[in-house]
Structure 1
Amino acid sequence: MARPGDRAVEIAGPWSHRYVAANGARFHVVESAPASGDADAPLVVLLHGFPEHWWCWRDQLPALAAAGYHGVAMDLRGYGGSDKTPNGYDPVTLTQDVSGVVKALGRRSAVLVGHGWGGYVAWATATYRAREVSALAVAAAPHPAAMLSGLRRQPGAAALRHVLASQVPYLPERRLADARRGYVGAHLEAWSSPASAFPDAASVETYQSAIGVWPSSHCALEYHRWLVRSRVRGDGRAFDRAMRAPVTQPVLAVYGADDPALPRGAMRATRRHVSGPLTEHVLRGVGHFPPEEAPATFSGLLVRWLDNL
C-alpha cells in the first residue's frame, strides 16, 4: 500500500524498489542485481547520510551490478520511504535495522557502505553485529570514537556546529522541511567542495521533496539529538564503551580533501580503531559527499576494493 512520500522516493532507473519488514518497521530498499541473475552475488548494502536518502547511491548501484555485485540502497529509519517511527534513532536500534534488512533479503551477512550518518551506523553495525558485516566501506565518516574525540578538540568544526544547532526544538525541522527556506540546498553546497559541480538543482529538489514529507525532517534530526542527549545518559556511555572494541573487518575509508565538516585528525585517529586491513583514499577537489561529487572515482575505488576482498 502506497504511503505519503513514496512517490518522492520511488525514482525510476536501472534498479527496482521494494519494501521489507525488519526490526518492527518497514524499510524502503532499492536493488540493482547483476545482469547474470546470480542469486549468490555478494550483497552490498548502502547507507546514506543527512539530509539525503537512497538516491545518493544512484551512480554506485549500476556500477556494483555491472561488476557482479548485488547492490541494495536502503532508506534509514525516518528517511525517504522507510517508516517514520516516534523513536528508535539510537545507534543500537539502527544497527538492528540494518541487520534485520540483511536477513530480510535472505542473507546472513553483507558488505556495508555508509556515507556520513550512514557511515556512523555502518561502524556501529560492524561492532554490534560483527558476524553479519563481512567488510565495511565508509565515505566522510571517521570512526564514531575518533569523530567524538576530534569534535571535543575542535569545537569550531562544522559538524559540531550543525549538531548543536539541531538541538533546538521545532525550529530546525521546520526549516529543513520548508523548501522556501532553501536550507537543504545551502547545506549541501556549504559542505561540498568549491571545485565540485554538486549539488545541482535536480539533486536539491529530489532531497527536499523527500525530507519535506512530515515527519521526515523531525526523524532525521533525532539522530543528531540522540548524540547530544546521550552524553549524560547510560545508553550513551554504554555505546562509547562498546565502540572501544577495534573493528576487525576489512575497511575502506574515503575522504574529501575539501571536507569542511570533519574535525582535523579524525581520519588519522580512526586508524587506532581498526585492527583489520585498512585502505584509505583522500580525493582532491571533493568535499563531504564523495559518492556524488566524484561518483566515477568513488565507484571505481569501491569496486576495486570489493574485488580484492
Structure 2
Amino acid sequence: MDAARTSPTDSGRAVQWIPPLPEAPGFDHLVVETPGLRTHVAAIGEGDPAVLLHGFPHHWWQWHAIAPAIAAHGYRVLCPDLRGAGWTEADDPRIERETRLRDLLSLFDVLGIESTHLVSHAMGAITAMQLTYDHPERVRTAVQLAVWPGFVKFSPKLFPAFQNLPPYIWHRPGASLRGTFSERYVARPISEATVDAHLTPMHRPEIDAAVRRLTRGMVLPEATRIMRGVYRRRRRLTVPTLVVFGRRDYPTTEELMGRICRDPERFADRVEFAYVDGAAHFVTDDTPAEIADLSLDWFDRAA
C-alpha cells in the first residue's frame, strides 16, 4: 500500500488512493485513517450509504459485481477491506472478538455515516451482527449472507459448517487457500483469474498471518457465544434483517433453518429468510445479480 503514503494524511481523514488492485471499473479508492489503522475503502455511486462487509478470504473485490448494481439505484456503496484483509494496514496485528466492530464504528465516524444499510457475508457477518445488536441506531437494514442469525438454536447438524476451520486455526505461512473455492463452497465453476483476484492480498505477510488471528480471536469466540445461546438471551434484534442462503450451502438447508430458527418473532422485530437457487456458500460469486436484487428489495421494504 506504498502508493497511499505519497499523499499527506492525518488521523481521522480520508484520502484518494490509486493503487494496483483487481480490475473493477467505476470505483473510487480511499484510505481512511483512524488511530492505528489505515483502511482501504472502495466506493461507488451517490446517495444514501450502503456498506458491504466482505467474507473470508475475500476483500472489497467480492462486491465488484454487486456494488455497482446497488449504486445504480441511488446509493453510495462503500466496501471496506476489514482489518486483516485486502489492502488495509494495522499498526497492531492482534485481533480480538470485537476488534473489527470498533474499527467499523471509527470508520463510520470519519466518513460521517450516522446510519447505513448493511450487507455482509460469512466472516463479515460476524461484525455486522455485533453492530446490529450493540449499535442498532447505526443500521437501517441488514442483509446477512450465508450465516445463520445470532438467535439460532444450535444443533449438532450445523457442525459440518465448521469443517473448514481447522486449516485456518493452524494456518501455516504461505499455505494455499485455493481449496476454499472448491465445489463445497461454490456451485458454479470459478475461474483461476477470479480466485487469483480474491487471494492476491494473501501475498502480503501481515494478511497471511491474520488468517490464524481472525479464526482464533474472532470466529471461534463468537461461534461459541452463538452455540451457548448468548444472543437468544439478550435484548431483541431491532434492525430489520434478511438472512440469505444458497440452496446448495450445506448444511444450512431451508428445512434445518426452519427448525432451529423457529418462532423468530420471539427474538427479532423483523427478520425474513431467503434461499437462492444455484448458489452455495459463496453466494456472491455464484449469483451476484440475485444478491443485488434481494438487497435492494430489502432496503425498500424494510427501511
Mapped partners of 1:52, 1:145: distance in 2: 26
Aligned counterpart, 1:29: 41
Give the match for residue 80 of structure 2: 74
Q: 1:132 pairs with 138, 145, 149, which one?
A: 138
Match of 1:111 among 117, 142, 167: 117
Q: Secondary structure at the match of 2:79?
A: strand
Shift of 1:141: 1.4
User: Aligned equivalents of 2:73 and 2:210: distance in 1?
Assistant: 35
CA 1:274–1:240: 2 relative to 1, 3 Å: closer
Alpha-carbon distance, 1:71 to partner? 0.5
Are the structure 2 counterparts of residues 228 and 220 from structure 1 closer, same or farther at C-alpha, using a change threshold of 3 Å?
A: closer
Summarize deviations over 1:212-246 as a string: whole Å, max 9, x none. Answer: 21121221332211257648x9x999994698332
Q: 1:121 to 1:262 in 2, by over 3 A?
A: farther
List gaps (5 residues or longer) in structure 2: 6-17
Aligned to 2:213: 222
- After superposition, what is the alpha-carbon deviation per residue over 1:176-219, rounded to whole angstroms, capped at 9, x for unaligned? x45xx4x32x211233344x13x221111112221221121221
Per-residue Cα deviation, 1:236-288 (whole angstroms, up to 9, x for no partner): 99994698332111111110111136588357535367412222210122100
- Structure-2 residue corresponding to 1:209: 200
CA change 1:207–1:223 in 2 (3 A) is same
Partner Cα distance (2:32, 2:237) in 1: 28
Whether contact under 8 Å (1:28, 1:82) holds in the other structure is: yes
Q: Aligned equivalents of 1:242 and 1:2: distance in 2? A: 46
Counterpart residue number, 1:192: 185
* Whole-angstrom CA distance in 2 between matches of 1:2 and 1:205: 21
> What stretches of structure 1 of length at least 5 have no aligned partner?
35-40
**Gap change, CA 1:112 and 1:22, over 3 Å in 2:** farther
Cα gap change, 1:230 to 1:192, in 2 (>3 Å)? closer
Coordinate RMSD, CA, aligned: 3.1
Q: Tell me the distance in 1 between the aligned counterparts of 2:259 and 2:35.
A: 34
Equivalent pairs counted in the alignment come to 285
Select the residue among 270, 294, 303 that pairs with 2:287. 294
Q: Structure 2 vs 1, CA of residues 83 and 261 (structure 1 numbering), >3 Å: closer, same or farther?
A: farther
Higher share of residues assigned helix: 1
Q: Aligned equivalents of 1:277 and 1:3: distance in 2?
A: 42
User: How many angstroms apart in 2 are the aligned matches of 1:160 and 1:167?
Assistant: 11
Amino acid at match of 1:44: A
Deviation at 1:75, TM superposition (A): 0.5
The TM-score, its normalising length taken from structure 2, stands at 0.82
For 2:201 and 2:142, locate their aligned partners in 1 and report how far apart those are by CA, in whole Å.
27
Tell me what 1:249 maps to: 239
Tell me which residue corresponds to 2:169.
167
Distance 1:304 1:110 in 2: 15
Instruction: Return the alpha-carbon distance in structure 1 between the equivalents of residues 118 and 212 of structure 2.
Output: 23
**C-alpha displacement of 1:82:** 0.8
